């Protein structure tokens, strides 16, 4: 009977690629550039003009005692939606940059135990390539499916990739946007009897053609311009790749419980700055409901009182108004015009 399995390649791949500046390594094998005459290179840093061809070499090292066979391929990079980490596309996905332009002499390589194999590759930048950054990776994929414990029908394929930072010559444009700022606010029904927390969600969008290391400042102000909060955010992608969007959230603990708050996010990177804002009303809804109910009850009682007044009383009011509007000469009680001594 054939066992189904869950393929977790993208997860394992980008976790490997998100390591610090050193050879990409998962403990069993690693992938890295051939060292230059000066020093070891953690990644491939390549500059080329449209129409130019670049040649380089990648090393695949097997750290186990048994030989391992890998599927080699080039892939484009992107930012993960979860936290903006550096990730690469899986084999078979559509490639537009490094994944389409890099050529490997063979798509599989076998590395003996405790040994390394060096594989040359070529990057052919097309004539019409857009200027700017085109990040990607050279990936070594173990195509074997690992089974779970006890024969459980759960397996993964593992991959390791060496990052490729390719910059195509031409005009560069750093540009950043802050989009879709939303605020959700949780607070107690009665002020002071619980915590008040605001969750601010927003999208960072690299609208330019170069990789950015964004910084974001959060500033909140209340009624009459009072400063409620100023904070430099830390949960940001270290590299926001060209064209990529990342949805991020920030929690504001001890948010106001009775105020009007304006929240502004200001993002900066490479001399570019962009801001966006949103507002929310902090109202204790139980208190607001009681006040609204009291006002409604007062209006209802006033209307009821007016309706219950006697008809004669309302008629007397109208008669007095009419008499007061008549000219004095028309008043039958006036003595003007009576004969003397009459």
* Each residue's pLDDT tens digit, 287-312: 544 555 567 656 767 776 777 666 55
Q: Is residue 334 situated within a structural domain?
A: no
Which tokens is 240 given?
A: 């926001």
Are 315 and 274 found together in one domain? Answer: no
Final residue before a domain boundary, out of 168, 197, 229: 168
Which tokens is 276 given?
A: 């966006």
Are 162 and 308 found together in one domain? Answer: no
Are 193 and 156 found together in one domain? Answer: no
Q: Is residue 146 situated within a structural domain?
A: yes
Q: Is residue 152 situated within a structural domain?
A: yes
For 153-164, b/e burial (b = at least 16 CB within 10 A) is: eebbbbbbbbbb
Residues 316/321/326/332 CA torsion (nearest 10 deg) = 20
Are 207 and 314 found together in one domain? Answer: no
Are 28 and 164 found together in one domain? Answer: yes
CATH of residue 203: 2.60.40.10
Q: Please say whether the beta carbons of 250 and 154 come within 8 A.
A: no
Final residue before a domain boundary, out of 127, 150, 168: 168
Q: Is residue 243 situated within a structural domain?
A: yes
Q: Is residue 331 situated within a structural domain?
A: no
Q: Is residue 209 situated within a structural domain?
A: yes
Q: Is the pTM of this model over 0.85?
A: no
Are 72 and 154 found together in one domain? Answer: yes
Confidence tier at 2 by pLDDT (50, 70, 90): very low
Model pLDDT, residue 231: 96
Q: Is residue 148 situated within a structural domain?
A: yes
Are 40 and 153 found together in one domain? Answer: yes
How many separate domains does the chain show?
3
Q: Is residue 155 situated within a structural domain?
A: yes
Are 111 and 48 found together in one domain? Answer: yes
pLDDT per residue as tens digits for the range 255-290: 887 788 999 999 999 999 999 999 988 666 545 445
Confidence tier at 68 by pLDDT (50, 70, 90): very high
Q: Please say whether the beta carbons of 39 and 109 come within 8 A.
A: no
Residue 269 β-bridge partners: 272
Tell me the three state secondary structure of residue 213.
coil
Are 34 and 101 found together in one domain? Answer: yes
Model pLDDT, residue 265: 98
pLDDT per residue as tens digits for the range 196-244: 889 999 999 999 999 999 999 999 999 999 999 999 999 999 999 999 9
Domain limits for position 211: 176-283
Which tokens is 310 given?
A: 């006697």
First vs last Cα of the chain: how many Å apart?
Answer: 131
């Amino acid at each position: 009977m054939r066992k189904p399995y869950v393929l977790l390649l993208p997860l394992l791949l980008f976790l490997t690629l998100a390591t610090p500046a050193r050879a990409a390594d998962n403990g069993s094998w690693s992938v890295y550039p051939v060292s230059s005459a000066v020093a070891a290179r953690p990644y491939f840093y390549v500059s080329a003009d449209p129409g130019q061809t670049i040649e380089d070499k990648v090393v695949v090292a097997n750290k186990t005692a048994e030989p391992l066979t890998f599927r080699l391929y080039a892939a484009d990079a992107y930012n993960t939606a979860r936290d903006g980490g550096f990730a690469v596309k899986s084999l078979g996905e559509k490639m537009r940059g490094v994944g389409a332009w890099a050529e490997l002499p063979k798509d599989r390589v076998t590395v003996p135990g405790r040994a390394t194999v060096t594989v040359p590759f070529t990057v052919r930048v097309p004539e019409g390539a857009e200027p700017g950054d085109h990040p990607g990776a050279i990936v070594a994929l173990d195509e074997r499916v690992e089974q779970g414990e006890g024969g459980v029908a759960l397996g993964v394929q593992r991959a390791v990739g060496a990052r490729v930072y390719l910059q195509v010559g031409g005009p560069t444009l750093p540009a950043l946007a802050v989009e879709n700022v939303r605020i959700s606010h949780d607070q107690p029904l009665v002020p002071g009897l619980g915590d008040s927390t605001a969750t601010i969600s927003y999208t960072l969008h690299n609208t330019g053609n170069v990789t950015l290391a964004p910084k974001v400042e959060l500033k909140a102000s209340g009624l009459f311009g009072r400063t409620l909060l100023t904070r430099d955010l830390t949960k940001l992608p270290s590299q926001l790749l060209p064209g990529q969007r990342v949805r991020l959230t920030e929690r504001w603990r001890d948010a106001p419980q009775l105020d009007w708050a304006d929240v502004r996010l200001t993002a900066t990177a490479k001399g570019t700055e962009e801001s966006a804002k949103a507002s929310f009303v902090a109202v204790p809804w139980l208190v607001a409901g009681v006040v609204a109910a009291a006002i409604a009850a007062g209006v209802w009682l006033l209307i009821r009182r007016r309706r219950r007044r006697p008809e004669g009383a309302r008629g007397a009011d109208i008669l007095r108004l009419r008499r007061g509007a008549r000219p004095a000469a028309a008043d039958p009680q006036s003595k003007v015009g009576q004969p003397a001594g009459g």
